[in-house]
Amino acid sequence: MLLHIPGILDAQQLAQLRQALDAADWTDGRETVGAQGARVKRNLQLPDASPLRQQLAKVVLAALAKHPLYHAAVLPARTLPPRFNRYEGGGHYGFHVDGSVMALPDGAQVRSDVSCTLFLNGPDEYDGGELIVSDTYGEHEVKLPAGDAIVYPSSSLHRVAPVTRGARLASFFWVQSLVRDDGRRRLLFELDTSIQRLTTSGADADAVLRLTGVYHNLLRAWAET
């Protein structure tokens, strides 16, 4: 499921992150990928061990924790601490698939079910830099307003187009979902959002209650903890 999630960060949070990133010491993004990724990756990242990266990651995680649409779509169980990247001067990332298992700082393993890119500056500030996700329906170009995020299956083939003007700033991270299968996550998300709409429209309360029960019983059957 490819889903645009608006308003993860507000204007104050974006200003805080932008000010910090404008003064940051960046490193070659190839340091955090294997040999295959290094052949097609040309960007800058905050070093994983950077205290600034850890500080800004907490801001992003706190904002995600308060966003109901994000939780409904992703059903997060474990989240790899967000990273931050910068593309400029032709920087790009060729087609690739994200690694399937990644390590948390404490050594625990996270299965990457959902990938997320959180845009930190506006599309008018740079040319190029589209996130291009390829699936059975073709290629989808994504370039969102600052503070908005895109989530998509980590199994997707995807790339970042070259940035030919300005700089593209983003946070990116991976999530192990309570529900591993993307098709099941989509069904639960559609059921959840439909229940919310029925509730606000004043639909029959007993019917909404029964549908809510169906949602939770499906989640109970499919969830992995």
Mutual orientation of helices 11-22 and 51-65 as an angle, nearest 10°?
170
Where residue 41 falls (left for φ over 0; alpha for ψ -120 to 50; beta otherwise) is beta
Q: Check if the beta carbon of residue 192 is closer than 8 Å to that of residue 215.
A: yes
Report the binding-site residues for Fe cation: 96, 98, 158
How many other C-beta atoms can be found within 10 angstroms of the C-beta atom of residue 225? 5
Token pair 């959902």 in the structure block, residue: 114
In terms of Cα–Cα distance, which of 185, 189, 180, 114 is closest to 153?
A: 114
Q: Check if the beta carbon of residue 72 is closer than 8 Å to that of residue 192.
A: yes
Q: Check if the beta carbon of residue 58 is closer than 8 Å to that of residue 77.
A: no
Report the binding-site residues for 2-oxoglutarate: 168
Report the binding-site residues: 96, 98, 158, 168
